[in-house]
Amino acid sequence: MEVTGNQSPDTIIDPEVMVVKAEAACDYLKAIATPMRLMLLCNLIDGEQTVTDLSNKVGAKQSLTSHHLNRLKLSGLVSARRDEKFIYYSLEDSFAQELVAMLYLQFCKPD
């Protein structure tokens, strides 16, 4: 295998591994590829919130908000915790936080 540029043989990704990782990245990005989900994520940048809080902020019904939050949860972007009768959602991990922070700065932050 020929090495070009700054790549060393140990940094070249096996094509089969690359396909799997590319598919995972596409699934992750598909999960955020709706305006509603991006708005939810941008609102979670400030910390955990309830479905009621989020639905009021994005102007959607709670059922629709819950549906989108569940999709984000299944994709590993948000986590949920129950506290008595409320479910609180937050960004799942540091990668999700960094990704949303970049999106927030570019697309959500008030001018």
Q: For position 73, what pLDDT does the model report?
A: 93
Q: For position 61, what pLDDT does the model report?
A: 97
Whether the per-residue pLDDT at 1 is higher than 50: the answer is: no
> By the 8 A CB rule, do 36 and 71 touch?
no
Q: What is the pTM of this model?
A: 0.79
pLDDT digits 0-9 by tens, 3-62: 455 656 667 888 899 999 999 889 888 988 999 998 999 899 889 999 999 999 999 999
Of 64, 35, 39, the closest CA to residue 51 belongs to 64
Q: For position 6, what pLDDT does the model report?
A: 61
Q: What domains can you pick out in the chain, each with its CATH number?
A: 14-108 (1.10.10.10)
